[in-house]
Amino acid sequence: MNTNELAAHWMPFTPNKGFKAKPRMLTGAKGMYWTTDDRRQVLDMTAGLWCCNAGHGHPHIAEAIAQQARTLDYAPCFGFGHPLSFELSERLARLAPGNLNKVFYTNSGSESVDTAMKMALAYHQARGHGGKQLFIGRERGYHGVNFGGISVGGITNNHKAFGQWIPNDHLSHTQDLELNAFSRGLPLHGGVEKANELEKLIKRHDASRIAAVIIEPITGAGGVLPPPLGYLKRIREICDQHGILLIFDEVICGFGRTGDVFASQTFEVVPDIMTTAKGLTNGAAPMGAVLAGDHIYEAVVEGAGAGVEFFHGYTYSAHPLACAAAMATLDVYEQEGLYRRGAADGDISRYFEQGLHSLKGLPGVVDVRNYSLIAAVEFEPLSGQPGATGGLIQTAAWEQGMMLRSLGDAIAMSPPLIIEKEHVDQTIGILECSIKQHF
């Protein structure tokens, strides 16, 4: 790659100068492994960016996209349709919990979040409650990078240069190292107390001003924080008591990461609106989907007069290639039993959990936490360089042939659900070695 080519690409969420001085190039991927430009095989312990749940290069998905490109490459979705998006919607509605039966397509998680927020506003307005315009997010929450998502997100770097223009407030995050360090599965302590904070926020703003609470069932990019026991149910209860909608951002948690299709099924809490993306197409085509409850659709669409009911949508909503990728992905998840493979009590999850928690006691390790195959290892910050250790461990692991995600002083993992024991063994070996290099 020549210097001009490297210079022209302004890379997202990347230290551009650092990358261009020492590029890390991926040129191929198959199953659990990447191929790099220097012909190394690198174990993918992050499913790309939490999206390739069925592993890479699946022939069924590749063929479906190719076939669709030859048949109908594009169809406008404003006022026209193509059959595949209706088939996919019916299939997703069948897979979803409760009354989440209406599917609106986007191209990413960020777009799904902003779409869900607009749906919440439109719902309240249609019911004569137009004053409900404030959203409650959570510290350390990540809801993408659009203006709605960064308003409800809780990671300071993501909004400090841009503002948080949608009215918002935030619950505390749920991490508590004193009560719940080294938890396996759901942390046991403090869930209901943490959720009760929502009542304080409702007192502060008044329910008549609050449109929705938006949270990830498991905080992902903010550090992998599974919800403490009882937390999500209590949040649901409080929302119901006060006429506040609950939005689950399942952009990471959806499509098998918790042992069911969606985390809301595993944790038995059904939101009013659910955002998805990533695993929907196994990362093979950009696509997001927002699943709205029947009551949302009825208020916004059935209750409106003739003409466009919801002034929102994207040129590439329900793109035929993405629909084909999604249909094929759902086939693969079903045929290969991948939803269950992510279950917390499954063989591979247990093996991974046990291996990972064996890192407790290594120098510098202050926490290991996981829900099934989603996990994080947190390190002591280096003196004078808070937030640097995750990047150092990530680089050490990359050099030894493994991709991790760095999140401040932690590293995160969310491997493809096709992971086998030999990959777990490789992971623990490389992690141990990388940790010992730095502490």
Binding stretches for ligand PLP (CB under 6 A): 108-110, 113, 142-144, 216, 220-221, 249, 251-252, 277
CA gap 186, 218 in Å, rounded: 10
CA distances 117 to 91, 124, 143, 167, 213, Å, are: 24, 11, 11, 11, 10
Q: Provide the minimum distance between the beta carbon of 39 and ligand PLP in the complex, in angstroms, as a whole number.
A: 29
Q: Provide the minimum distance between the beta carbon of 110 and ligand PLP in the complex, in angstroms, as a whole number.
A: 3
Q: 386-401 burial, b for 16+ CB within 10 Å, e for fewer?
A: eebbbbbbbbbbbebe
Q: Are 135 and 125 in contact (CB under 8 A)?
A: no
Q: Provide the minimum distance between the beta carbon of 431 and ligand PLP in the complex, in angstroms, as a whole number.
A: 22
Q: Provide the minimum distance between the beta carbon of 106 and ligand PLP in the complex, in angstroms, as a whole number.
A: 9
CA gap 420, 257 in Å, rounded: 15
Whichever of 250 and 364 has its CB closer to ligand PLP, that residue is 250
Give φ, ψ of 273 to 5 degrees. -140, 140
Whichever of 239 and 251 has its CB closer to ligand PLP, that residue is 251
Q: Say whether 394 sits in a helix, a strand or coil.
A: helix
Q: Are 376 and 224 in contact (CB under 8 A)?
A: yes
Distance of CA 339 to the CA centre of its chain: 16
Whichever of 251 and 368 has its CB closer to ligand PLP, that residue is 251
Q: Provide the minimum distance between the beta carbon of 221 and ligand PLP in the complex, in angstroms, as a whole number.
A: 5
Q: Provide the minimum distance between the beta carbon of 286 and ligand PLP in the complex, in angstroms, as a whole number.
A: 7
Whichever of 252 and 328 has its CB closer to ligand PLP, that residue is 252
Whichever of 221 and 419 has its CB closer to ligand PLP, that residue is 221
CA distances 262 to 95, 121, 317, 357, Å, are: 8, 24, 22, 25
Q: Provide the minimum distance between the beta carbon of 1 and ligand PLP in the complex, in angstroms, as a whole number.
A: 25
Whichever of 248 and 333 has its CB closer to ligand PLP, that residue is 248
Whichever of 61 and 113 has its CB closer to ligand PLP, that residue is 113
Q: What is the DSSP string of 251-306?
A: TTTTTTTTSSSSHHHHTT---SEEEE-GGGGTTSS--EEEEEEHHHHIIIIITS-S
Of 366, 195, 166, 161, nearest to 267 by C-alpha is 195
Whichever of 53 and 110 has its CB closer to ligand PLP, that residue is 110
Residue nearest to ligand PLP (CB): 109
**Angle formed by the axes of helices 231-242 and 191-205, to 10°?**
20
Q: Provide the minimum distance between the beta carbon of 109 and ligand PLP in the complex, in angstroms, as a whole number.
A: 2
Whichever of 221 and 403 has its CB closer to ligand PLP, that residue is 221
Q: Provide the minimum distance between the beta carbon of 252 and ligand PLP in the complex, in angstroms, as a whole number.
A: 4
CA gap 160, 166 in Å, rounded: 14
The burial of 306, by beta-carbon neighbours within 10 Å (0-12 exposed, 13-18 middle, 19 or more buried), is given as exposed
Q: Provide the minimum distance between the beta carbon of 401 and ligand PLP in the complex, in angstroms, as a whole number.
A: 24
Distance of CA 88 to the CA centre of its chain: 20
First to last CA, the chain: 35
CA gap 267, 265 in Å, rounded: 5
Whichever of 47 and 338 has its CB closer to ligand PLP, that residue is 47
Q: Provide the minimum distance between the beta carbon of 375 and ligand PLP in the complex, in angstroms, as a whole number.
A: 15
Whichever of 110 and 370 has its CB closer to ligand PLP, that residue is 110
Task: Please calculate the CA angle 136-138-144 and round it to the nearest 5 degrees.
Answer: 90
